[in-house]
Amino acid sequence: MVKDQVSIVTGASRGIGKEIALKLAEQGAKLTLVGSSEEIHQSAKDLNEQGFTEVMAVQADVANEEDMKKVINATLDKYGKIDILVNNAGIGFFKLTEDVTVEEWSKLFEVNVQGVFIAAKAVLPHMKERKTGTIITISSDVGRYTIPNGAAYTASKYAVQGFSGSLAQEVREYGIRVGTINPGMVDTYFANSTQGLPEKHDWLKVEDIANAVVYMASAPKHMLIDEIVLHPLVQNYPIA
């Protein structure tokens, strides 16, 4: 159960992150929403207007260590503890390798990998002290196999998988659980797309990912769910 659990959700301005926040709130969690733009305050307001009052927003860059320390401190000041961290913030694009600029590569790894590392690093001292906590990262099914035109994005997700697996082993003795949610194609705003396009009708929905997060976070304390893989039921979709 996540009732009264204090949860930080990054990338919560819209799409998957906003839906994760909603599903956690519906289960009684207390929330800190994190986003890089002022839009994050609207997300918190939207939840407040639905009757979820234990919600606050912090505008922060997940790849900036001082920003994430600010998020942790603000959450502890308001709620007194942190139970769940959901690393959802991420970006992506799909190009031939020779068309990817060094700047694009660096930005992708800054958000997708460094952001996950910094957020986890920031919350770990508190979770270790309490000897409890759950860290969930929204990765991708391409962190388990490769695709053409996706070398940069795929590499970042392989890195996330490796980081999460190693971290899980490091913190197990403290009662901290680390897992990844690895979805396939999701009808959301990913890679500058638009949510709700007709051609995405048979893709995964944002609520599918959010429900998986709630399931993983709600597991009994004696159980670790280290990975959930979700694929759309689309003919010829690669399944690794």
pLDDT digits (tens, 9 = 90+) for 39-61: 999 999 999 999 999 999 999 99
- CB 188 within 8 Å of CB 195: yes
In a domain, 160, yes or no: yes
- For 177-197, the three-class secondary structure string (H helix, E strand, C coil) is EEEEEEECCECCCHHHCCCCC
pLDDT in tens, 127-186: 999 999 999 999 999 898 888 999 999 999 999 999 999 999 999 999 999 999 999 888
Task: Give the Cα-Cα-Cα angle 227, 232, 238 (nearest 5 degrees).
Answer: 80
Structural domain span for residue 197: 6-230
Q: 23 CB contacts (<8 Å, ≥6 apart)?
A: 207, 210, 211, 213, 214
Going from the C-alpha of 181 to that of each of 38, 60, 106, the distances in angstroms are 27, 23, 23
Domains held by the chain: number:
1
Catalytic residue among 153, 189, 215, 237: 153
Three-state DSSP at 210 gives helix
Contacts 24+ apart (CB under 8 A), 221-225: 221/132, 221/175, 224/168, 224/172, 224/177, 224/179, 225/177, 225/179
Residue 235 pLDDT class (50, 70, 90 cuts): low
Tell me if residue 237 is catalytic: no
DSSP class of 204: B
In a domain, 119, yes or no: yes
- CB 17 within 8 Å of CB 10: yes
Residue 200 pLDDT class (50, 70, 90 cuts): low
Task: Give the Cα-Cα-Cα angle 115, 211, 64 (nearest 5 degrees).
Answer: 10
Residue whose structure tokens are 């690393």: 87
In a domain, 236, yes or no: no
The span from the CA of 81 to the CA of 56, in Å, is 14
In a domain, 235, yes or no: no
The span from the CA of 44 to the CA of 38, in Å, is 11
Q: Residue 141's domain is classified under what CATH number?
A: 3.40.50.720
In a domain, 239, yes or no: no
In a domain, 238, yes or no: no
* Average predicted confidence (pLDDT) for the chain: 93
- CB 134 within 8 Å of CB 175: no
The span from the CA of 1 to the CA of 88, in Å, is 20
pTM of the model: 0.94
Task: Give the Cα-Cα-Cα angle 115, 141, 166 (nearest 5 degrees).
Answer: 50
In a domain, 127, yes or no: yes
Q: What is the mean pLDDT of residues 68-88?
A: 98
In a domain, 240, yes or no: no
CB atoms within 10 A of CB 95: 14
Length of the chain as a residue count = 240
